[in-house]
Amino acid sequence: VVHQAVHRVERVVVITHALKKFFVTHGVSEGKLLVAPDAVAYEQFALAETKEEARARTGLPQDATIVMYAGHLYAWKGVDTLAEAARLLPEALVVFVGGTDRDRQRFTERYKMHKTIRVIPTQPHAEIPHYLRSADVLVLPNTAREPLSSLYTSPMKLFEYLASGRPVVASDLPSLREVVDESCAVFARPDDPKDLARAIRSSIADRTSSDHKARAAQRIAMQHTWEARARLVLEMVKKS
């Protein structure tokens, strides 16, 4: 049904090059397709507040090294990989923010013995920038086991992370590589807790490099605002 609809319309906006390739292989004209990744409300996430101010607002400990994931607790998001990596990072507090009540209960029950894990209920979206700003490292641990994660997603979480000005550790996946590279993130093998812990630890240890990457990440986020995305789509419409 989706394929039939795509063939009937004049233009189609997709969020990754892998999705574009998917439709082309199913007979959709390449000229009909525009790749426009998801984006971010940059000013909302590029806060001027310090990490200490953000922690005072969110109630997170000032003296901890905080590794953070913010979002749903679905398996394809790789949250279990990050939870297992937490066992290898006794020096850090690994904070998960979000998830449905059911998923959070399941996740908490599974990892309740991990003393370095803290699970925080879903917060109002306006508060998420303050949580991100409070972290020492932000993690995007998506799995490689599902095409939705490895090829077809364009996580808004990624752009919010980039805009926050905090160091980012991400799974080394084609879907994420479409937006970021080593200049602005540290990569880890997907679904590998040991390598994820290695990447997080290296980001914590090398503050100079991490700060440099965080500044580069913000510059990328500035190019991926919703306004810029809208202009790109409108240009496509004008040419149709």
Going from the first residue of the chain to its last (240 residues), give the mean pLDDT of each consecutive group of 10, the final group possibly shorter: 73 93 90 94 97 98 98 95 96 97 95 92 97 98 93 94 98 96 98 98 96 97 97 86
Identify the burial level of 231 via C-beta atoms within 10 angstroms of its C-beta, where 0-12 means exposed, 13-18 middle and 19 or more buried. Answer: exposed
Supply the pLDDT for residue 1.
Answer: 53
Supply the pLDDT for residue 6.
Answer: 79
Q: Where are the beta strands (DSSP E) in the chain?
A: 12-14, 33-35, 66-70, 93-97, 117-120, 137-140, 168-171, 186-188
Supply the pLDDT for residue 107.
Answer: 96
- Enter the pTM of the model: 0.94
Supply the pLDDT for residue 236.
Answer: 85
Supply the pLDDT for residue 240.
Answer: 67
| Amino acid in the structure at residue 48 | A
Supply the pLDDT for residue 148.
Answer: 87
| Amino acid in the structure at residue 185 | A
Supply the pLDDT for residue 70.
Answer: 98
